[in-house]
């Protein structure tokens, strides 16, 4: 049997909350609809995860490593996904994301023009309160709903990461579901000289809205101490890249460098020492020079994050 073209892996939340279960099943069914050229690995041992994987014929890997607080580690998730087979392309996708059939075509298009790359993109936020079907012209119907009732999310990060097997072979011990690690993926691609491709114009995805009841204290992920540890492992706040830091975009089937604006020019100038020679200190000084007010606010936030890290016992682990 030949290897699949793409191995997609994810670490879902427990399927105990009815709405969380609903949107995760919707996401998994959309991935199943991509066809036999996609292998899906469902990672983790929270309640209902094994049963969900079995119901779709997906591989289940419960043996994921955890941090001190019991949160799965991105490094282990990526290792387990990579071990599944020898597919040429790998993808981590959040378990509430609906993918459309153009996903595979986008990968093929980019792969025909570049050897090493990271595919990322903007998402549409949509409230979904019922099971979705993935038969007939489901993609066309759902996209109509997405554009009518959905909202394009800010360009703060990404909910999917698609890359060739020879990229991202080493990943720090980030905590999944917390902020910072997704931004590091964009930074790392830029640092390595790979193409960081914004596929927003050619590849739609839907993020199904949810709250934060599954997180400690119901707090958003960016307020948790594990986010502070993720930022530390990433190398510091200057490595927190967004979609605006992508190097290329996919437009009309062609990879094109993202055009310069004055804002982008100064952002690239600020990050040049870090990207070209790993000089974090110089990039930090430039940030303080260009953004003195933001730098002061950042110092306050960092002090609070450091306090939470110390209290959690995660700092320096």
Read off the CATH number of the domain in which 114 is found: 3.90.550.10
Q: How confident is the model at residue 216 (pLDDT cuts 50, 70, 90)?
A: low
Alpha helices by DSSP H, 151-210:
181-192
Q: Is residue 134 part of a domain?
A: yes
Alpha helices by DSSP H, 150-291:
181-192, 225-234, 262-277, 280-290
pLDDT of 20 > 90? The answer is: yes
Report the pLDDT averaged over residues 234-242: 95
Which residue did the predictor score with more confidence, 222 or 83? Answer: 83
Q: How confident is the model at residue 317 (pLDDT cuts 50, 70, 90)?
A: very low
Q: Is residue 83 part of a domain?
A: yes
Q: Is residue 252 part of a domain?
A: no
- Tens digits of residue pLDDT in 131-177: 999 999 999 999 999 999 999 999 987 899 999 999 999 999 999 99
Q: What percent of the chain has pLDDT over 90?
A: 83
Tally: H helices and E strands in the chain: 10, 13
Cβ proximity of 212 and 218 under 8 Å: yes
**Domain that includes residue 204, residue range:** 6-244
Q: Is residue 231 part of a domain?
A: yes
Q: Is residue 56 part of a domain?
A: yes
**Out of 123-137, 177-191, 222-236, least confident range:** 222-236
* Domain count across the chain: 1
Q: Is residue 307 part of a domain?
A: no
């Amino acid at each position: 049997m030949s290897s699949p073209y793409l191995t997609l892996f994810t670490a879902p939340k427990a399927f105990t909350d009815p709405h969380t279960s609903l949107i995760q099943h919707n996401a998994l069914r959309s991935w199943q609809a991509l066809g036999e050229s996609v292998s899906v690995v469902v990672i983790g041992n929270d309640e209902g995860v094994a049963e969900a994987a079995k119901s779709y014929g997906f591989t289940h890997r419960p043996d994921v490593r955890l941090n001190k607080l019991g949160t799965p580690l991105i490094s282990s998730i990526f290792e387990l996904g990579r071990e599944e087979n020898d597919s040429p392309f790998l993808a981590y996708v959040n378990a509430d994301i609906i993918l459309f059939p153009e996903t595979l075509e986008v990968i093929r298009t980019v792969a025909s023009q570049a050897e090493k790359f990271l595919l990322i993109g903007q998402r549409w936020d949509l409230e979904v309160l019922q099971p979705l079907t993935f038969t007939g012209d489901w993609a066309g119907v759902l996209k109509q709903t997405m554009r009518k009732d959905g909202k394009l999310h800010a360009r703060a990060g990404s909910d999917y990461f698609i890359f060739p097997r020879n990229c991202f072979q080493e990943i720090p011990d980030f905590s999944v579901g917390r902020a910072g690690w997704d931004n590091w993926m964009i930074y790392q691609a830029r640092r390595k000289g790979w193409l960081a491709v914004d596929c927003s114009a050619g590849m739609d995805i839907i993020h199904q809205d949810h709250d934060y009841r599954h997180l400690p204290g119901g707090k958003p992920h960016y307020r948790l101490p594990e986010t502070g540890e993720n930022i530390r492992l990433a190398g510091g706040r200057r490595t927190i890249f967004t979609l605006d830091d992508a190097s290329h975009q996919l437009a009309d089937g062609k990879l094109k460098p993202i055009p310069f604006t004055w804002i982008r020019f100064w952002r690239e100038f600020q990050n040049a020492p870090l990207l070209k020679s790993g000089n974090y200190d110089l990039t930090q000084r430039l940030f303080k020079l260009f953004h003195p007010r933001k730098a002061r606010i950042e110092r306050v936030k960092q002090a609070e994050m450091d306090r939470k890290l110390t209290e959690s016992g995660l700092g320096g682990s």
